[in-house]
Structure 1
Amino acid sequence: MLWRTNALRMFGAVVVGIGTAGWVRIRDMLTPHPGSPAEKLAVRGFISRRNLDNQQGVSQISVEEAVSRDDIHAAFICTENESHQDYVRTFLQAGKHVCVEYPMTMSYQAAVELWDLAQKKGLVLHEEHIELLTEDFKELKRAVQGKILQEGTLHFTGGALKAGFGFPAFSGIARLTWLVELFGKLSVSAATLEEEPAKGYSKLTAKLLTSDNRPLTWVEERQTGLPRAKNINFVFDSCTLSEIPAAPRGAVGLFMQDLIHFSAKLAGQVSPSQLQGEKERVLHCLELADKIQQLCQS
């Protein structure tokens, strides 16, 4: 794919949070994909709760400095899930575009309010979803296309959740988004949460329905030492898919793909219909997560 970048102005950016994702965001802005809109993003600093030395030659700045500087136009939020909402609001109110890791917020209503704020100020609000960019998901989507679902299960396993990552329906929203991308809008019919804190164990089970009332079960099971894996069983009218298709690694990294997409939004190169579609998908998934949490806690 070729991108036209010569007419685009430079966008200065700040990275909030220097974990793995924040470090990669800085690296990708320092070495953008040639010829892509990402070449017009320049990292101006990073924000961290800790006092740190320069990271990859980039210096640490405060939130106050970042929101006040005229040469900073965008913020990348790469912190614990529970702090996303406050950072997004802070930067939007300061007139900065925002790219935030999923989930954008820990409630549907808060996300609606933030999107309204972005729209009011004419800003880009982008929720990163790198799990939709993986080659294995792209292969799975191709394998599912055109088939009529009868019933299905997506069972995720992984290590115990760390503090600050929120309720499992939100921390695991990438898998919920997989199901929405594969089978369209869903509704929640039931949900339960089993927990054994002493063992670092939790198991969320959500019963979902497609628009034509086909049942889907989503399970998020976590425990200290449990290997990270996604297991599927999708039964169609013509076949059953019990494994995610194998796919070679993509030529462009997942975070770089997302950076290019965010940069294209800043440059006005993404159609209004695509922007609206992404917004509707993100809000739908957050609304589902909200309902799942309510059912588990009622």
Structure 2
Amino acid sequence: MAATRSVVGVVVVGVGIAGRVRIRDLQECTCGLELKGFVSRRELEVPGVQQLTFKDALTSTDVKGIIVCTEPVWHEEFIRQALENGKHVLVEYPVALTSSATRDLYTQAANKGLVLHEENIGLLTESHQKLKELAATKTLKTGTNSLVGNYNGWVEKLPLEGKPFLSNIAAIQSFYDVFGDLKAVGATLDIHDTGVKFCGEFEPKTGNQKLFIKGERYKERVQRAGSTIVEFEDGEIFDSTTVKSAALPGPKKPGLFMQDLEIFAAKVNGERTTEADEITRCVRSIEIAEEAHKFLE
């Protein structure tokens, strides 16, 4: 933690898997964020942490930031209330379920001089950085992001309503970050008794190469598996499943969620800003998903 960095009290809202990881990391972090409590719909016992109501968190002068770990259908409501009460916000992707609401929340944060930070730890992985390095010097031929998993919480209804790409917004963000702006040129959705399969076809605005985002969601438990495979014009193939973490000498590198907390703390303390291209990537990725959904209407 920087010597001049002030301590910032934060509250975690939502104590599912992600929320518990946030609580654990906040109890261990040295980046200047201090856990003041958690908010949950359930009565829970979390050692060393007090349970608060959301109203308590909003009105407490000791709380300067809210970390939203709820299902995305609740993100917009929690963010808006937090900003209205002068709190910085860290939220898991997506910020909201529509591009218009997302854009409005970033505008609200900027007008109040507050931080609204969207987490997408996939953009921090060594695999993603390796792909960016390759794409900077090579010409894309085609690429596919695939994810197989179960329905969970908010995702369960979205594919059946014809909006599956909201559940794969991280993949759109990843391709956007590597290859620039995209346009949706096609999408399919297959609904069956055991789940759904969907596929979106996209093109970078800079060329007519093809990028595909595929997903499978099942009601019965299956092993989660994902991959990104990209072929370049020179024949080189990038396969995310074969990228190994390099064991570097020195102190162990913090985990991805801990790295994300450090980014949020730096923004809150004015050491780092939320760049315009970061906001554009967030908003534009949801617009791209919305464009893909039109092919399913």
Cα distance in 1 for residues equivalent to 2:35 and 2:116: 18
* CA apart distance, 1:290: 1.8
Native 8 Å contact 1:139 1:247 kept in 2: no
Q: How does 1:68-79 map to 2 (within 5 A)?
A: 68-79=59-70
2:85 aligns with 94
Return closer, same or farther for 1:168/1:153 CA change in 2, 3 Å cut-off.
same
Q: How does 1:27-66 map to 2 (within 5 A)?
A: 27-33=24-30, 38=31, 40-53=32-45, 55-66=46-57
1:80 corresponds to 2:82? no
* CA apart distance, 1:90: 1.1
1:18 aligns with 15
Gaps of 5+ in 1: none
Letter in 2 for 1:6: A
Native 8 Å contact 1:81 1:171 kept in 2: no
Letter in 2 for 1:276: A
Cα distance in 2 for residues equivalent to 1:94 and 1:295: 39
Cα distance in 2 for residues equivalent to 1:89 and 1:74: 13
Cα distance in 1 for residues equivalent to 2:245 and 2:142: 28
Letter in 2 for 1:284: R
The alignment's TM-score, normalised by the length of structure 1, stands at: 0.89
SS of 2:154 mapped into structure 1 = coil
* CA apart distance, 1:234: 2.2
Q: Deviations over 1:127-182 (max 9, x none)?
A: 000111122222333333311012222222222x2232344211211111111122
Letter in 2 for 1:14: V
Cα distance in 2 for residues equivalent to 1:227 and 1:116: 39
SS of 1:116 mapped into structure 2 = helix
Native 8 Å contact 1:130 1:255 kept in 2: yes
Native 8 Å contact 2:36 2:63 kept in 1: yes
Q: How does 1:168-207 map to 2 (within 5 A)?
A: 168-196=164-192, 198-199=193-194, 201-207=195-201
Q: Is the deviation greater in 129-138 or in 179-188?
A: 129-138
Native 8 Å contact 1:169 1:292 kept in 2: yes
2:98 aligns with 107
Cα distance in 2 for residues equivalent to 1:191 and 1:248: 34
Cα distance in 2 for residues equivalent to 1:123 and 1:67: 14
1:290 corresponds to 2:287? no
1:157 corresponds to 2:148? yes
Gaps of 5+ in 2: 247-251
Alignment partner of 2:257 out of 245, 252, 255 = 255
Cα distance in 2 for residues equivalent to 1:213 and 1:128: 30
Q: Is the deviation greater in 163-172 or in 68-77?
A: 163-172
Letter in 1 for 2:234: S
Pairs aligned (count): 283
